[in-house]
């Protein structure tokens, strides 16, 4: 009988390109010993929801008030998937009506300013403007965070310095969140995709803030939020956590309680302090199938616009993608008026209408532009030696993205190989995009990849993204060889071996196809060896392409009676195996 592993259809095939980069003048020579990493393209990990930042505390207004030319340039830098970082999410502040700030750095008016008053749908023009601008670039994921409920709902009658939600205001707060989500859709045409109950509930600070415990969240969610959202048919995802540190608290009590865990969809946290939780994990969130978002991080100190800072943030993304397996990742501000601070991606000079772009915009863009919502991360082996590799793919379209980070002060040679495919056929090239000291998401020369092994040189302190595409390919062995049954052949005769290779119904005409043979003894397949052609039709064991098929005239004179397996390889991968019986 035919070998059970014979396939008519190849699984996916890989189209990847590696780039060998030239070193800038004066740069140290690349490490002699190459670093290696394997991309396990069939080991699917978490789905990616997107990358984003915020325009909260009037920073969207600062951008909105910029001159049109500069404003348009900045929007391109933030949201364009061809010329910028391609951010796919926007984080907003749910206004609390506080009076502690000013027109360039302060809170947003609340939709419910007085307990006995009605809802007010004006005052948030800048964040609405930013979301609408983002829509023009195809962004459709908007999340909103509550820094503080309105003062009249709180124990300290203030939006600042912590305070808690009054126990007799739990229903009002649930109604408030429901009204916000419904109102932004009805009044502004904005669909809020996810709502966060509290920002950094572990802190009391002099700006908008509110304290919560895990047990308070449990009661609020079980008795008020979930029933209210169900009654009002609210479908927005509920975010819980947003601790200032990258940890699961205060969501743990809610996750442990079967009556409340279904009331949340996303466990979020910020990444401040120490190593920013680069190696932390969220075991309960994973156990109960909750999405994990890192929703805020930044440099709160003096701004560093350099590539060193850019590589720092690229490494953090890499670590939080692979350790905590986050589904979404946010920097703090898109833009801000603070010229000397590291909190925004782009610093605005509101006095002179100038802006300054930091390298971190581009290194984060090495992820955000190419790893799109709906992609999945796939596993990679650790490269080590200061080089970091993560990979992502779109399981529907076949697009693949590999992001490499070189944190070394010298160039590094990197060998990449790909596992998880039955066959590989290079039909196109992969485009590398690099950010370095002298480059900003620079598109490099397309280079094809062969035989599942790839080599590249990564410049010192750089982030390089490789974009490729895989295709579904089918193969079919043609008569006189049987695809699914043993083919009987008279020993000494020449057997025409023919097969077709197609993708999307179109023939592939220039594959590197080779024929091997292995003797089968008592059902055990021996080592495969190259066949040799004594005629002029073929060269070595290489198939020739003619008549819309691959052809090889296999001379059996050198063999003896018995059963053999014929093995067809395409670009180093076995695509078909059939059995013949020589008699």
Tell me the pLDDT tens digit for each residue of 433-470: 999 999 999 999 887 766 666 789 999 999 999 998 87
20 — pLDDT class (breaks 50, 70, 90): very low
Is the confidence at residue 425, as pLDDT, over 60? Answer: no
pLDDT digits (tens, 9 = 90+) for 146-174: 999 999 999 999 999 999 999 999 999 99
Residue 583 preceded by cis peptide, ω within 30: no
Cα first-last separation, the chain: 16
pLDDT value for 429: 66
Which of the residue ranges 86-100, 310-324, 474-488, 504-518 would you say has the lowest mean pLDDT?
504-518
Fold of 49-373: TIM Barrel (3.20.20)
Is domain 472-582 given the CATH code 2.60.40.10 in the classification?
yes
Q: Is 404 exposed, middle or buried (0-12, 13-18, 19+ CB in 10 A)?
A: buried
- The pLDDT tens digits of the residues spanning 222-280 come to 999 999 999 999 999 999 999 999 999 999 999 999 999 999 999 999 999 999 999 99
As a whole number of angstroms, the distance between CA 57 and CA 141 comes to: 20
Helix axes 359-368, 307-319, angle to 10 degrees: 30
Pair type for strands 89-94 and 141-146: parallel
Structure tokens at 227: 């029933």
Q: Where are the domains of the chain?
A: 12-46+389-400+411-469, 49-373, 472-582
CATH architecture of 12-46+389-400+411-469: Sandwich (2.60)
CA dihedral 297, 299, 300, 302 (to 10 degrees): -170
Six token digits for residue 133? 């601008």
pTM score, whole prediction = 0.85
Does this chain's domain 49-373 share its CATH topology with 472-582? no
Q: Tens digits of per-residue pLDDT, 520-548?
A: 999 999 999 999 776 556 789 999 999 99
Beta bridge partners of 530: 516
Classify 562 as helix, strand or coil: strand
Cα separation values, 84 from 80, 368, 433, 462, Å: 5, 9, 12, 17
Torsion angle in degrees (nearest 10) through CA of 219, 222, 225, 228: -130
- At 57-100, the pLDDT tens digits run 999 999 999 999 999 999 999 999 999 999 999 999 999 999 99
């Amino acid at each position: 009988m035919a070998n059970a592993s014979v396939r008519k259809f190849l699984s996916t095939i890989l189209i990847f390109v590696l780039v060998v980069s030239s070193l800038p003048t004066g740069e140290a020579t690349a490490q002699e010993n190459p670093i290696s990493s394997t991309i396990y393209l069939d080991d699917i990990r978490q789905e990616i929801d997107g990358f984003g930042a915020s325009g909260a505390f009037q920073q969207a207004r600062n951008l909105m008030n910029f001159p049109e030319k500069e404003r348009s340039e900045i929007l391109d830098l933030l949201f364009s998937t061809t010329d910028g970082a391609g951010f796919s999410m926007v984080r907003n502040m749910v206004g609390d009506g506080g009076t502690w700030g000013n027109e360039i750095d302060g809170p947003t008016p609340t939709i419910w300013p007085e307990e006995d008053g009605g809802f007010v749908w004006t005052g948030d023009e800048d964040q609405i403007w930013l979301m609408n601008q983002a829509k023009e670039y195809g962004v459709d994921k908007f999340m909103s965070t509550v820094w503080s409920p309105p003062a009249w709902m709180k124990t300290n009658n203030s939006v600042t310095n912590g305070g808690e939600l009054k126990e007799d205001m739990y229903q009002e707060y649930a109604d408030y969140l429901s009204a916000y989500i419904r109102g932004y859709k009805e009044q502004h045409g904005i669909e809020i995709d996810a709502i966060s109950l509290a920002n950094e509930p572990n802190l009391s600070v002099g700006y908008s803030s509110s304290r919560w415990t895990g047990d308070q969240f449990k009661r609020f969610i079980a008795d008020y939020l979930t029933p209210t959202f169900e009654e009002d048919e609210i479908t927005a995802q509920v975010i819980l956590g947003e601790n200032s540190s990258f940890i699961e608290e205060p969501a743990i009590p809610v996750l442990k309680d079967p009556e409340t865990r279904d009331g949340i969809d996303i466990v979020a946290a910020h990444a401040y302090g120490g190593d920013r939780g680069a190696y932390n994990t969220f075991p309960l969130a994973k156990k109960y199938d909750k999405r994990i978002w890192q929703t805020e991080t930044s440099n709160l100190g003096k701004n560093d616009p350099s590539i060193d800072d850019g590589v720092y943030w690229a490494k953090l993304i890499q670590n939080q993608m692979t350790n905590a397996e986050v589904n979404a990742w946010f920097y703090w501000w898109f833009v801000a008026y603070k010229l000397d601070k590291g909190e925004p991606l782009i610093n605005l000079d509101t006095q002179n209408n100038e802006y300054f772009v930091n390298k971190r915009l581009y290194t984060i863009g090495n992820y955000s532009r190419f790893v799109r919502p709906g992609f999945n991360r796939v596993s990679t082996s650790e490269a080590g030696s200061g080089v970091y590799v993560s990979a992502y793919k779109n399981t529907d379209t076949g697009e693949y993205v590999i992001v490499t980070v070189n944190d070394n002060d010298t160039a590094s040679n990197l060998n990449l190989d790909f596992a998880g495919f039955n066959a590989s056929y290079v039909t196109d090239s992969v485009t590398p995009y690099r950010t370095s000291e002298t480059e900003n998401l620079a598109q490099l020369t397309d280079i094809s990849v062969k035989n599942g092994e790839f080599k590249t040189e990564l410049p010192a302190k750089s982030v390089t993204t490789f974009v490729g595409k895989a295709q579904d390919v089918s193969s079919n062995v043609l008569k006189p060889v049987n695809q699914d049954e043993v083919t009987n052949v008279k020993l000494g005769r020449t057997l025409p071996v023919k097969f077709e290779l197609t993708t999307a119904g179109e023939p592939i005409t220039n594959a590197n196809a080779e024929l091997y043979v292995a003797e089968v003894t008592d059902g055990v397949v021996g080592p495969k060896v190259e066949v040799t052609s004594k005629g002029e039709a073929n060269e070595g064991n290489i198939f020739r392409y003619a008549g819309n098929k691959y052809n090889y005239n296999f001379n059996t004179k050198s063999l003896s009676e018995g059963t053999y397996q014929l093995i067809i390889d395409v670009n180093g991968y076995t695509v078909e195996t059939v059995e013949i019986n020589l008699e």
